[in-house]
Amino acid sequence: MADVTPDPETHFVSRLKTSLSVALEIYFPFTGRLVKVENLEDNTVSFYIDCEEEHRGAKFVHAESKSLSVSDVLQPDGSVPEFMRRFFPYVDVKNIDGLTEPLLALQVTEMKDGVFISFGYNHMVADGASIWSFFNTWSKICCDGSDDLSPLKLRGWFLDGISYPIRIPASETVAPSPSQEASLRPTSEERVFHFTKTNLSYLKAKANAEAGSSSDRIISSLKALSAHLWRSVIRHSGLSREEETHCKVAVDMRQRLNPPLERECFGNVIVLGVASVTVGELLDHQMGWAALQINKMVRSQTDEKYKTIAKDWVRNVKILKSVGGSSSPMVCDSVAVTSSPWFDVYGNDFGWGKPIAARARPSSSMRGALVLFQGIEEGSIDVHVNLCFHVLVKLLADAEFLETTTITQ
């Protein structure tokens, strides 16, 4: 989001559309369509992305909300206004909806004194690294008309001995009814917490001191922050000591495969790693111990393990319905760390100045989400959380937690 209103004389919406068309010529998989093939002989279905010219295109929405200002969006207490849902395309749209919806949607919302640009995309075609690479390219083309851009890096990655296309039991693709979805929808609320470079240095030092000095126990700032958030959330979850709790982390496998893929390789090469302990274990031990569990889990995401998981999944396909935790709408037993502070958010200048803030796409179905962005100050991190309401209320009254964070605009 930028707090400078573009000059109308520049026809900035037209510029955005024109530059978007150029960017999509490079990132053409975003313009494809998801196609389902029904295999009647064994009651399975298969999917592929059709990028033929006549089927191509992304969704572009231009909206105006001239009664709202940047200060309405960036609340002093870090809360996220309900109207923000209307600033995003594809709120609660699922991957399977790619059969009827474009794989990429973008929305430009003009406010009284700023512009908010948002996106929604299908994870069958890309992950966070790929969408931000596209976004960086789009802004560069829009800003300076650059045409000296590298072609998209695509590389097929297929398992040996697997028949393609993969056949998925038709029963796995049946979407829940609206009433079923509503019954599982948690009472959640969003908030944005800001962790300064000083906050993060403190958490990293604390975690490493508690974990010990062994070389295989070095804890990064990101893992220390994740452990701190995991313990803080679960401390107020109301779960019993015997129940299991999970910290789920999206791990980029590009450089972990053998041979590795290029860092810029387009696609979805993410695995959801899970660290699991009992509530009692998590709260009885210090933050450094929790960070070690996350560290061990991330280190265990190897080429061999990734291939084993993929082969097992193909043999017994199960569609992940949600990255959240318990199916009960009032239980918060997990946190899911997504996105990355390494993604270039604040370098996206479309021609009217760099962004001043970032916000995650709202979701009413993913409680426990911890969406990480780089902060506007160097070395800082913003965390956009979606937590059960009763957990967030207690977290906001937790002096120990509040000592390490700043409510951010």
Distances from the Cα of 139 to the Cαs of 22, 89, 111, 254, in angstroms?
Answer: 11, 19, 19, 25
Q: Pick the catalytic residue: 97, 113, 349, 390?
A: 349
Active site residue 349: yes
How many CA atoms does the CB half-sphere of 66 hold within 13 Å?
0
Distance from the Cα of residue 408 to its chain's centroid: 20
The verdict on whether 384 is a catalytic residue reads no
Q: Which residues pair with 60 in a beta bridge?
A: 106
Catalytic residue among 92, 97, 123, 252: 123
* Those residues with Cβ within 8 angstroms of residue 229's Cβ, 6 or more apart along the chain or in another chain: 335, 337, 370, 383, 385
SS (H, E, C) the chain: CECCCCCHHHCHHHHHHHHHHHHHHHCHHHHCEEEEEEECCCCEEEEEEECCHHHCCCEEEEEEECCCCHHHHCCCCCECCHHHHHHCCCCCCCHHHHHCCCCEEEEEEEECCCEEEEEEECCCCCCHHHHHHHHHHHHHHHHHCCCCCCCCCCCCCCCCCCCCCCCEEHHHHCCCCHHHHHHHCCCEEEEEEEECHHHHHHHHHHHHHHHCCCHHHCCCHHHHHHHHHHHHHHHCCCCCCCCEEEEEEEEECCCCCCCCCCCCCCCCCEEEEEEEEEHHHHHHCCHHHHHHHHHHHHHCCCHHHHHHHHHHHHHCCCCCCCCCCCCCCCCCCEEEEEECCCCCCCCCCCCCCCCCCCCCCCCCCCCCEEEEEECCCCCCEEEEEEEEHHHHHHHCCCHHHHCCCEECC
Question: Looking at the annotation, which residues are catalytic?
Answer: 123, 349
